């Protein structure tokens, strides 16, 4: 028997194809799609530019899957190699309340709660941050997402055990799908 080349129940990042979008996703529907662009990161490895691909998709149920891959860029835009990666789920809860679950290979698991501030902006604050012994020191985080002039813009701030929130990454991404 030959293995199938496609999943029998695929996700879609497009409202025009695939399963019907449930009404429960209306508060996060503008995020649905594939996005690509550049951003700026700050951290222990120093400040640097990065390229990024993000995908918010659904399979007909009341959540969006989330995948993000970044690659490090030189000042002149040349690709240096892979950078931060994470995946998770965005789960609307009621009319404007949302949850975001995010896992990264750095050993961080983050559970955010928040709300849709408008129909095109979302603010989330960590409720739980779990980490492996060698993961970065993160005890709190805040994520802001917004659709501005058709682009997805976001900012992530994190705090270590000193409890001071600091910007760690932000980007402007254009919809590619």
Query: What domains can be seen in the chain, in order of their start residue?
Result: 23-175 (2.40.128.20)
Q: Is the pLDDT of residue 32 over 90?
A: yes
Closest CA to 66 of 16, 117, 122, 119: 122
The whole-number pLDDT of residue 15 equals 78
pLDDT, averaged across the chain? 93
The reported pLDDT for the residue numbered 78 is 97
Task: Give the span between the Cα atoms of 124 and 111, in whole angstroms.
Answer: 9
User: What pLDDT does residue 57 have?
Assistant: 96
Give me the pLDDT at residue 4, please: 60
pLDDT band per the 50, 70, 90 thresholds, residue 1: low
> DSSP letters along 15-53, please?
TTSSSPPPGGGTTTGGG-EEEEEEEEE-STT--EEEEEE
Average confidence (pLDDT) over 105-115: 97
pLDDT of residue 173: 98
Rounded Cα–Cα distance for residues 43 and 135 (Å): 13
3-state secondary structure of 111: strand
Task: Provide the pLDDT for residue 12.
Answer: 86
């Amino acid at each position: 028997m030959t293995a199938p080349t496609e999943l029998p129940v695929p996700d879609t990042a497009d409202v025009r194809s695939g399963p019907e979008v449930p009404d429960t996703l209306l508060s996060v529907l503008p995020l649905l799609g594939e996005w690509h662009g550049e951003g700026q990161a700050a951290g222990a490895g120093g400040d640097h530019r990065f390229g990024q691909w993000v995908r918010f998709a659904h399979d007909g149920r009341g959540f969006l899957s989330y995948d993000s891959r970044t690659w490090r860029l030189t000042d002149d835009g040349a690709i240096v190699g892979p950078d931060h990666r994470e995946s998770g789920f965005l789960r609307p809860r009621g009319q404007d309340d949302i949850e975001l679950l995010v896992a990264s290979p750095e050993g961080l698991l983050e559970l955010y709660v928040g709300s849709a501030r408008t129909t095109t902006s979302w603010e989330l604050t960590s409720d739980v941050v779990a980490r492996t012994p060698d993961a970065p020191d993160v005890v709190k985080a805040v994520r802001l997402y917004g659709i501005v002039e058709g682009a997805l813009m976001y900012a992530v701030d994190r705090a270590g055990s000193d409890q001071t929130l600091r910007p760690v990454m932000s980007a402007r991404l254009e919809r590619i799908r």
